[in-house]
Amino acid sequence: MFDALSLHWPEYLMEAALLGTFMISACAFCTLLEHPDGPGRRALRSSFARRVLMGLAMGLTAMGLIYSPWGRQSGAHMNPATTLTFFSRGKVAPWDAHFYVVAQLLGAVFGVTIARFALRDWLRHASVNHVVTAPGRFGVMVAWGAELAIAFGMMFMVLYVSNDAVLTAYTGLFAGSLVALYITFEAPLSGMSLNPARTFGSAVVARHWKAFWVYLTAPLAGMLLASGVYAALPFHNHVYCAKLDHCNDRRCIFRCEFEQLRPRTASTDRDAGRP
């Protein structure tokens, strides 16, 4: 434990800061778009149009964080379900997984807390309510199934794309695009959490724990299921590393085999005329 903490504490802090920044962005954009006195409500009466803009904002936020210097070093999990899925595949050491999850939970809480101090009553308004996630009008079980489905889709994409010699550099673009699509189309069913820490951060500050078990269990179940399906593929089923973006020179603290993929990545770049 002490060795992991003394050697890898920068990555733990990066994970906390990344998810904290994501939550600040979510709070700010939701307030702009959904508060009755905000510009979003005045300019757009359509809730769908506002979700499209929210999806674009958060998708771009996710992409920026994944490709940021911190995201490239920590791996930009920003999600306990992602970390635990990579742990189940043997790519993350036990104490690293433990501290990543703790950092993600704390980062989410700090992010929403900072947003509350900055936005005050705007963030507390019922139309925003600290961007809590709650089941939609179809109920808890539909919300659970929807969270399971989007978590499965996200994790299967990450595993497939990040371990493909041609596509690996674009994993963050795919991930951000899915975030945008999920917020646009799935949010009415479950609030689009995808992330136990993201829901935990809002729940702690808002003191809103309705159906929290949905967001604690469904994302993890969906991502573990995706890992199992990926492992069962007859080909292209190896996991080289737990980073979402490994095409950089930042240190890697995981049980990494990316060098086995890198030669194929380099030869593919040469064939395509890329430097």
What is the number of alpha carbons within 13 Å of residue 113 lying toward its C-beta? 10
Asked, for residue 275, whether it belongs to a domain, the answer is no
Residue 45, C-beta contacts closer than 8 angstroms, at least 6 positions apart: none
In this structure, how many other beta carbons lie within 10 angstroms of the beta carbon of residue 28? 18
Within a domain: 162? yes
Q: Cα(222)–Cα(59) distance, rounded to whole angstroms?
A: 20
Q: How many domains does the chain have?
A: 1
Cα dihedral 251→255→258→260 (10° resolution) = 130
Is 274 among the domain residues? no
State CA 246 to chain mean position distance. Answer: 17
Tell me which residue range forms the domain holding 230: 2-269
Confidence (pLDDT) at 264: 54
CATH of the domain at 159: 1.20.1080.10
What is the per-residue pLDDT for 258? 92
Contact residues for 136 (Cβ-Cβ < 8 A; gap 6+):
142, 143, 188, 189, 190, 191
Tens digit of pLDDT at every position of the chain (275 positions)? 878 888 999 999 999 999 999 999 999 999 999 999 999 998 999 999 999 999 999 999 999 999 999 999 999 999 999 999 999 999 999 999 999 999 999 999 999 999 999 999 999 999 999 999 999 999 999 999 999 999 999 999 999 999 999 999 999 999 999 999 999 999 999 999 999 999 999 999 999 999 999 999 999 999 999 999 999 999 999 999 999 999 999 999 999 999 888 755 544 444 444 44
pLDDT given at position 267: 45
- Please state whether the predicted TM-score (pTM) of the whole model is above 0.85: yes
Answer whether residue 216 is part of any domain.
Answer: yes
